[in-house]
């Protein structure tokens, strides 16, 4: 919606308040009429806070969502996007959503760790055959159950958005067989699953803030890391590593959530508009993420070819299966429902 149009709507709403105040009507009736007028003139303001720039898949999808929802709602919902942590960082945004200080966000799964630890399902290595299988899990019964768990904690869980699959890198030796990881120090984010994953292959997981990974690799504090191609490329991890193995072993993603208080204010038709807009935006976000992953992996390959400082390793099916067998033995450690749950893990594996 244009600034001019938004200002016009605000003026109409303000005039309506003055008119009804001057009529001497019952205050309760007056409030109801004004609220209806506000609804009809687009006075539902939806602030969407995220931590990345507007040219990332998440940022582009948020902008698409703004345009689509304002179109579907015919301007009755005014969507305002705040990228690059302009309002909140991910570690604070969930509390802000509970208070309805902001109405939408798309935090990474790790930010839900203390609220719904079952989202660590997506940390399990080699659980998903490919992106299509992952999306079928997210869009199917397993995904719905996970979203229900988040909604039960006082949020409205809408849809899953992609970063992409993770790869392994090292400065010590090529990671071809699971035993190649023995004794190496790998940076991980805070996750019991990721700790268990690296212990399963004899490696030493080291929890470290993402902002410190480059210097940690450069100075040899850690030997390797796991990340998506986009994270590896934008943070230049490939420039301080000697070997990059294409494993697609784990997944990084986001869950789009909305304020329950805001959702409950919306009439049924606008709730339907939100659902349609987020579904359309999810299709676009997945396309953006796939495009970026491919583009930036090609940039990494170009760097490797130009400098000769990086070896990229593509595993054979047999080599990849050896990794899968080595790390999948940790699955039963998370069968407890307070961790992830056997039903969710087996449900993901069984999803066709």
CA trace torsion 126, 131, 132, 137 (10° rounding) = 60
Contact 203, 179 (CB under 8 A): no
For residue 237, the 8-state DSSP code is G
Sequence spans of domains, the chain: 42-350
pTM above 0.75, yes or no: yes
The Cα-based distances of 10 to 168, 179, 263 in angstroms read 52, 65, 22
> In which residue ranges of the chain is pLDDT below 70?
1-42
- Identify the pLDDT of residue 41: 54
CATH 1.20.1740.10 fits 42-350, yes or no: no
pLDDT digits (tens, 9 = 90+) for 104-123: 999 999 999 999 999 999 99
The Cα-based distances of 172 to 62, 233, 311 in angstroms read 40, 20, 12
- Identify the pLDDT of residue 91: 86
pLDDT digits (tens, 9 = 90+) for 26-49: 434 433 433 443 445 557 999 999
């Amino acid at each position: 919606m244009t600034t001019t149009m938004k200002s016009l709507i605000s003026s109409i709403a303000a005039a309506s308040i003055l008119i009804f105040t001057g009529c001497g009507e019952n205050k309760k009736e007056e409030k109801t009429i004004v609220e209806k007028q506000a609804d009809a003139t687009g006075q539902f303001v939806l602030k969407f806070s995220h931590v990345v720039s507007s040219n990332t898949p998440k940022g582009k999808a948020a902008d698409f969502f703004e345009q689509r929802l304002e179109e579907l709602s015919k301007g009755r919902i005014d969507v305002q996007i705040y990228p690059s942590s302009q309002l909140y960082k991910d570690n604070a945004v969930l509390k802000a959503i509970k208070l309805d200080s902001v109405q939408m966000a798309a935090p990474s799964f790790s930010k839900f760790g203390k609220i719904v630890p079952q989202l660590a399902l997506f940390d399990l290595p080699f659980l998903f055959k490919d992106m299509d299988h992952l999306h079928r899990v997210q869009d199917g019964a397993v995904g719905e159950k996970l979203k229900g768990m988040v909604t039960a904690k006082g949020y409205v869980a809408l849809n899953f958005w992609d970063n992409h699959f993770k790869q392994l890198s090292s400065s010590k030796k090529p990671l071809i067989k699971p035993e190649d990881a023995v004794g190496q120090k790998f940076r991980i984010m805070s996750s019991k699953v990721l700790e268990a994953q690296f212990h399963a292959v004899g490696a030493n997981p080291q929890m470290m803030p993402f902002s410190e990974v480059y210097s940690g690799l450069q100075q040899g504090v850690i030997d390797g890391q796991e990340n998506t191609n986009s994270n590896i490329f934008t943070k230049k991890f490939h420039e301080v590593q000697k070997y990059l193995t294409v494993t697609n072993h784990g997944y990084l993603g986001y869950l789009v959530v909305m304020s329950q208080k805001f959702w409950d204010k919306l009439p049924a038709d606008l709730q339907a508009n939100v659902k349609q807009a987020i579904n359309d935006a999810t299709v676009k976000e997945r396309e953006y993420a796939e495009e970026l992953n491919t583009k930036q992996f090609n940039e990494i390959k170009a760097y490797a070819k130009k400098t000769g400082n990086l070896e990229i390793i593509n595993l054979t099916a047999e080599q990849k299966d050896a990794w899968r067998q080595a790390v999948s033995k940790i699955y039963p450690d998370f069968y407890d429902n307070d961790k992830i749950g056997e039903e969710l893990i087996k449900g993901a594996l069984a999803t066709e």
